[in-house]
């Protein structure tokens, strides 16, 4: 793993400005990225999988070339599975760099989901090779990330690079959970991808946990009467 390299972000620049209410033009989907073109590369970072009862947490970091817009990319939660798959392929073709990081169920149980999420993000960022980067993450600032970064609440709906990262992370994790569903049938992971649906909770009562279940999560503890 390469050493962590802080970004060379210009101080005082960051966040996302709201469009002028007097301006009738549609908001610029590349408004955030546009401010850094020619100076550094923008890295959008997002994660998926903090809430499920099973499976890893996965983070993605996406670097798009200047002036690159992937039409239709938005917060992955608002897209259908088919659209996410299609857009993930388009992002892979358009991006300068796409990197992934994950934290395992064992790491989640050994630490906690916030620390595991930070680790997944750090692993994705450590695979980048760009010397000058402007990192922007969805949500609030990430303590101990090891990189300077902007944090934008709702960034997966407001900043194009983050939206692309959210799609890549979601597609990667969903594919993994579908593969695990074939090895551990009965839990419905092919559709619920590890979240606490009624089918999943019923399977936990009948079949018990798999090695891919997060034993420290409340839903698993409740179903197994460990709480």
* Domain map (residue ranges) of the chain: 31-176
pLDDT mean over 142-156:
95
Lowest-confidence range among 36-40, 49-53, 219-223?
A: 219-223
Lowest-confidence range among 6-10, 119-123, 197-201?
A: 6-10
pLDDT of residue 5: 42
Is the predicted pLDDT of residue 227 greater than 50, yes or no?
no
How many degrees, rounded to 5, is the angle at CA 118 between CA 183 and CA 60? 65
pLDDT of residue 16: 41
**CA 63 distance to own-chain centroid:** 14
**Mean pLDDT: which of 12-21, 168-177, 211-220 is highest?**
168-177
Lowest-confidence range among 14-18, 22-26, 87-91, 103-107?
A: 14-18
Whether residue 150 contacts residue 137, with contact meaning beta carbons closer than 8 Å, is answered with yes
Which DSSP category does 213 fall into? B
Whether residue 117 contacts residue 47, with contact meaning beta carbons closer than 8 Å, is answered with yes
Whether residue 205 contacts residue 182, with contact meaning beta carbons closer than 8 Å, is answered with no
User: Is residue 25 very low, low, confident or very high in pLDDT (cuts 50, 70, 90)?
Assistant: low
The CATH number given to 31-176 is: 3.30.420.10
User: Is residue 131 very low, low, confident or very high in pLDDT (cuts 50, 70, 90)?
Assistant: confident
User: Is residue 7 very low, low, confident or very high in pLDDT (cuts 50, 70, 90)?
Assistant: very low
Helix (H, G, I), strand (E, B) or coil at 42: strand
Is the predicted pLDDT of residue 128 greater than 80, yes or no?
yes
Is the predicted pLDDT of residue 145 greater than 90, yes or no?
yes
What's the pLDDT tens digit per position in 154-210? 999 999 999 999 999 999 999 999 999 999 999 999 999 999 999 999 999 999 999
Specify the DSSP element, H or E, that contains 60.
Answer: strand 57-63
Cα–Cα distance measured from residue 204 to residue 221, given in angstroms and rounded to the nearest whole number = 10
What's the pLDDT tens digit per position in 60-117? 999 999 999 999 999 999 999 999 999 999 999 999 999 999 999 999 999 999 999 9
Cα–Cα distance measured from residue 185 to residue 149, given in angstroms and rounded to the nearest whole number = 41
The order of strands in the sheet holding 150-152 is 97-103, 57-63, 41-48, 133-138, 150-152
pLDDT of residue 217: 74
In 3D space, the residue among 146, 150, 120 whose CA is nearest the CA of residue 42 turns out to be: 150
Whether residue 73 contacts residue 104, with contact meaning beta carbons closer than 8 Å, is answered with no
In this structure, the strands spanning 57-63 and 41-48 are antiparallel
């Amino acid at each position: 793993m390469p050493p962590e390299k802080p970004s060379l972000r210009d101080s005082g620049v960051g966040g996302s400005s709201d469009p002028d209410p007097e301006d009738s033009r549609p908001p610029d989907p590349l408004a955030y990225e546009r401010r850094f073109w020619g100076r550094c590369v923008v890295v959008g970072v997002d994660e998926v999988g903090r809430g499920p009862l099973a499976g890893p947490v996965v983070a993605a970091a996406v670097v798009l070339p200047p002036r690159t817009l992937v039409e239709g990319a938005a917060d992955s939660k608002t897209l259908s599975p088919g659209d996410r798959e299609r857009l993930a392929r388009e992002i892979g073709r358009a991006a300068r760099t796409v990197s992934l990081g994950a934290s395992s169920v064992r790491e989640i149980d050994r630490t906690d989901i916030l620390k595991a999420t930070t680790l997944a993000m750090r692993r994705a960022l450590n695979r980048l090779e760009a010397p000058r980067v402007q990192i922007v993450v969805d949500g609030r600032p990430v303590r101990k990330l090891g990189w300077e970064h902007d944090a934008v609440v709702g960034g997966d709906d407001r900043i194009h690079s983050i939206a692309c990262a959210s799609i890549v992370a979601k597609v990667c994790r969903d594919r993994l959970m579908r593969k695990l569903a074939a090895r551990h049938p009965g839990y419905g992971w092919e559709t619920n991808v590890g979240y606490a649906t009624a089918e999943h909770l019923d399977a936990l009562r009948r079949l018990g946990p798999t090695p891919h279940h997060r034993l420290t999560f409340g839903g698993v503890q409740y179903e197994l009467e460990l709480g």
